[in-house]
A and B are shown apart, each in its own frame.
Chain A
Amino acid sequence: MPDFSLSPDLESLQDLARKFARTEMMPRAAECDRRGIFPEEIYRKAFDLGLMNLNVPAEYGGSGLGAFQQCLIVEELGYGCAGMTTSIIANCLALEPILLGGTEAQKREVLEPFCRSYHLASFGLTEPGGGSDAGSLATRARRDGEGYVLSGEKCFITNAPHASLFTVFATLDPELRHKGISAFYVPREAEGVVPGKDEEKMGHRASSTGTVRFEQVRVPAAHRLGAEGEGFPLAMRTLDMTRTPIGALATGIAQCALDHAARYSRERHSFGKPIGEHQAIQMKLAMMTSQVRAARLLTWQAATLIDAGKNATLESSVAKCFASDAAMRVSDEAIQIFGGYGYMKDYPVEKLLRDAKLTQIYEGSNEIQRIVIARELLRRYAP
């Protein structure tokens, strides 16, 4: 796509997501945000339309989309409601370790029944004792006969209170740090899986985030993903795949803020003219436009590399980092353009700022992204 335009094939996917965002998500977004409602009917509809298990190949019952296609869809959903989008795409994150590290038999056993009807899965990496420093996680996996026994607690787990399947990262030996970590999948009904309460959050309030405790949970060896000790690289490869769509989600938030601000700039008058005719407002709109466009193109570039099977570590970190920062700046300026109204919950823009904030934190905080970017960069300048 040298001219950066979308083919009709891609547009048809974008149209589907856009229509879903405008007709299903947006009308409920403010209410779900205000009252912290987890709108399960909307998630079921997203599943019915094929908008949920985007990354799972069609042969296992998913939508089988590439990274670029996923990004187009996630941006549109993010425009509609970032919180709902986080819950809708949580399956992609939770199932990616199975796609990357699972055997053919495991994929058939887990993914097929899971994708056949509406189910939610959760990705369990973060712990109360550490998020960014995933290598130091404390959830223990003990060998026990033919299998393992898991014990420990995960926190900030998207959809945990509603999930029927967990992918869990646990260590066989904390002394080994990264090298001690293994990955497992655990069904919700396994004895000792105890999801905690829903957290009260600043944004993404239509999503559900909670703790999940593993109290001596027996896991058969067949539910281990990859070899023992391969869990950490699997987690990192998973996040490599899902980081770019988070950039797309942030782009959607930013685009939404820009659209609101531009429209308001033509409606609101001060000093005898629409505020959009004051140059100070125009400068803001110009900056916002540039940010949104750059964010989009960076996610498109990272996604294109991923689809081509090329290394995109640097590009995906750049995209996630830039787009999430853009979402913050653009939603912040949108509130400024709305003046006092922007600060009111009646208007949609303050929610965008609260939603944008998370995109700088989760799936690898922006500080961690910058560490990655710098490391990749400096490697290229090795003396």
Chain B
Amino acid sequence: MSRSVLLVAERSGDHLARPSREAAGLARRLADGGTVHGLLLGGDLDGPAAELARCGVDSVLRAEDPELLPLRALPWATVVREAAARPAAGVILLADTIFGREVAGALAALWDASVATGAIEVRPAEGDRIVVRRPVLGGRAFQELLLDGPRILLTVRPGAFPAPEPAATAAPVAPFPVAPIPAPLRAGRSAGFTGDPAPAAGPDLGSARIVVSGGRGLRSAGEFRLIEDLARELGAAVGASRAVTDAGWRPASDQVGQTGRRVTPELYVAVGISGAIQHLAGMIGSRVIVAINSDPGAPIFKSADYGIVGDLFAIVPAITAELRRERGA
């Protein structure tokens, strides 16, 4: 059944933010023959608007107002609600960025919707209903929710959906007039960016979302730098097998396993680790496990989700380089 979808897009500098591009791809699919309108808010929107126009939307609306420039969820949500009324949208879609979730929170109340955040899978169900799958409890479980009714609000996790290739033709771009925003909602001012808030030291092994661990395959303390570099690119904590901590390449506190730390990150990358039972006991609860090992018969591959059989000294630097390239560094 076709739906009318309103995509609320975010910018990243002079571009359309990648998570919003991914959401646009999903919007088209959910519309199922219906219309998709893309809405941009803020000012100086030429760059993002031109890109959004080629993301498979039927039209791009530009809501430009100085009050929408600072990222405040309530003024945004007020404008989004108006945009969703003309013409009436059945679904509002946002990327699950930090700010996207704030806007969704305000909209959930103002637009009175059936709502889900952080979707990693979305599938249409009977009628115009939608089923959403999302991770909960720190990735330890998944939940499926049924979204139903004339107003459905959804945020989708960045990276969970493919971004569409740019379309050959651009959709029309039109201004969206912004009504005055009530004073209490636009209270507050920003002194601007303070830069990256990520702490300089890596996250703690016990609570990290991603852990990269190295084993005896690294051959020496010096080569462990490869693990550290990859961990830094991923924002991960560094772990090690006992072969490594025994050799003194890393402190004993980094040992993962039965006699070390037990970790349950969302992603565990085991590099040059054979997968002894004592090691597995410490990381088997991780949501996704990647193994990189030159020995196709290494037991670690039995307990991993993804494997690369190969020389870690070639593979690991290539992954680090790829991540750097993506980051534009």
Contacts and interface: CB of A to CB of B under 8 A. Distances in A.
A–B interface present (Cβ within 8 A): yes
Interface of A: 264, 267-269, 341, 346-347
A269 B277 CA distance: 9
12 contacts: A264-B258, A267-B258, A267-B277, A267-B280, A267-B281, A268-B277, A269-B277, A341-B258, A341-B278, A346-B259, A347-B258, A347-B259
Interface in B243-282: 258-259, 277-278, 280-281
A268 B281 CA distance: 9
Given A267-B258, A268-B277, A347-B259, 9 more contacts: A264-B258, A267-B277, A267-B280, A267-B281, A269-B277, A341-B258, A341-B278, A346-B259, A347-B258
Interface of B: 258-259, 277-278, 280-281
Query: Secondary structure at chain A's binding surface: helix, strand, loop or mixed?
Result: mixed
Instruction: Tell me which of B258, B259, B277, B280 has the highest count of chain A C-beta atoms within 10 A of its own C-beta.
Output: B258
Contacts of B259: 346-347
Contacts of A268: 277
Contacts of A346: 259
Contacts of B258: 264, 267, 341, 347
Contacts of A341: 258, 278
Contacts of B278: 341
B280 to A, nearest CB: 8
B259 to A, nearest CB: 4
B253 to A, nearest CB: 9
**Considering the complex of A and B, which 9 residue pairs feature the smallest CB-CB distances, nearest first?**
A346-B259, A267-B281, A347-B259, A268-B277, A267-B277, A269-B277, A347-B258, A267-B258, A267-B280
A267 B284 CA distance: 10
A272 to B, nearest CB: 14
Nearest to B257: A346
A268 B280 CA distance: 10
A264 B258 CA distance: 9
B119 to A, nearest CB: 34
Nearest to A347: B259
Nearest to B206: A27
B303 to A, nearest CB: 12
Nearest to A267: B281
Contacts of B277: 267-269
A264 B277 CA distance: 11
Contacts of A267: 258, 277, 280-281
A323 B259 CA distance: 27
Contacts of B280: 267
Instruction: Tell me which of B259, B277, B280 has the highest count of chain A C-beta atoms within 10 A of its own C-beta.
Output: B259
A341 B276 CA distance: 14
A346 B279 CA distance: 13
Nearest to B242: A346
Contacts of A269: 277
A340 to B, nearest CB: 12
A346 B280 CA distance: 16
Nearest to A268: B277
Contacts of A264: 258
A264 B281 CA distance: 9
A267 B277 CA distance: 8
Contacts of B281: 267
Contacts of A347: 258-259
B207 to A, nearest CB: 13
A267 B262 CA distance: 13
Nearest to A31: B252
A272 B258 CA distance: 20
A347 B280 CA distance: 15
A346 B278 CA distance: 11
B242 to A, nearest CB: 8
A347 B259 CA distance: 6
Nearest to B262: A263
A14 to B, nearest CB: 23
Nearest to A346: B259
A341 B278 CA distance: 10
Nearest to A263: B281
B252 to A, nearest CB: 9
A363 B258 CA distance: 35
A341 B259 CA distance: 10
Nearest to B255: A346
A93 B258 CA distance: 36
A370 B203 CA distance: 54
A362 to B, nearest CB: 29
A347 B281 CA distance: 13
A35 B234 CA distance: 37
A10 B171 CA distance: 66
A267 B259 CA distance: 13
A269 B281 CA distance: 12
B139 to A, nearest CB: 21
A110 to B, nearest CB: 42
A267 B278 CA distance: 9
A268 B258 CA distance: 11
A269 B278 CA distance: 11
B261 to A, nearest CB: 10
Instruction: Tell me which of A268, A346, A347 has the highest count of chain B C-beta atoms within 10 A of its own C-beta.
Output: A346
A346 B259 CA distance: 6
B213 to A, nearest CB: 18
B249 to A, nearest CB: 18
A74 B158 CA distance: 48
B328 to A, nearest CB: 40
A316 B278 CA distance: 41
B251 to A, nearest CB: 13
B271 to A, nearest CB: 23
A220 B326 CA distance: 80
A374 B278 CA distance: 47
A347 B258 CA distance: 8
B4 to A, nearest CB: 51
A13 B278 CA distance: 35
A289 B277 CA distance: 25
B262 to A, nearest CB: 10
A273 to B, nearest CB: 13
A267 B280 CA distance: 9
B247 to A, nearest CB: 15
B90 to A, nearest CB: 46
A221 to B, nearest CB: 55
Nearest to A348: B259
